[in-house]
Amino acid sequence: MSKNKTTKKSFKACLVFKSLLGLFDVLSGSALIFLTPVRLTKIINFITAKELDEDPIKWVINYIIRFTYDSSAETKHFFIYYLILQGLINIIVVVLLWKKVMWVYPLSILMYVGMVIYEFNYYSGSHSLLIIIFIAIDIITIYFIIQEYRNSFSGKVKGMGLR
């Protein structure tokens, strides 16, 4: 398979993933509005109880449980706004990228770079593993958007700075 076809398939897979993640973000952020830290901890405990019974050392699950238990109201508000905003941006950008709207490529790169900067800023105060995962996903997305832009519009646009 050629590099161009692999990049195109990876780009489309990334778009599908980002659209599902966007929908999940909006739903999760909306659900957080109605959940207190105690309720959230109970839900996480219920979902993960079987896993922890099998292997109590699972660090990811233990991290999530500790995180939900120790979260402040400020952290909860951050995640509500972050998830809903990130989700809506992802959904809108994915739809426009899927339609190959040319001006969306550079704009989406700027938006995702802005999100990465915002995420790094938040990480500097929280040191949250979850934020590092968001940063990695957004950087991978930026890479595939740039590659798809180069492949799709290389002969149509000169001087856009992405060659």
The tens digit of pLDDT for each residue in 58-114 reads: 555 555 555 655 566 667 777 788 889 889 988 999 999 999 899 999 999 999 999
Each domain of the chain, given as residue ranges in start order, spans 3-151
Task: List, for residues 47-62, the tens digit of each pLDDT value.
Answer: 766 655 555 555 555 5
Whether the Cβ atoms of residue 82 and residue 24 lie closer than 8 Å to each other: no
pTM above 0.75, yes or no: no
- The single residue listed with the structure tokens 């809506």 is 88
Cα–Cα distance for residue pair 133/111, rounded to 1 Å: 17
Cα–Cα distance for residue pair 35/44, rounded to 1 Å: 12
Residue 136 pLDDT level (bands cut at 50, 70, 90) = very high
Task: List, for residues 10-40, the tens digit of each pLDDT value.
Answer: 888 889 988 998 999 899 889 888 877 677 7
Across residues 145-154, what is the average pLDDT?
87
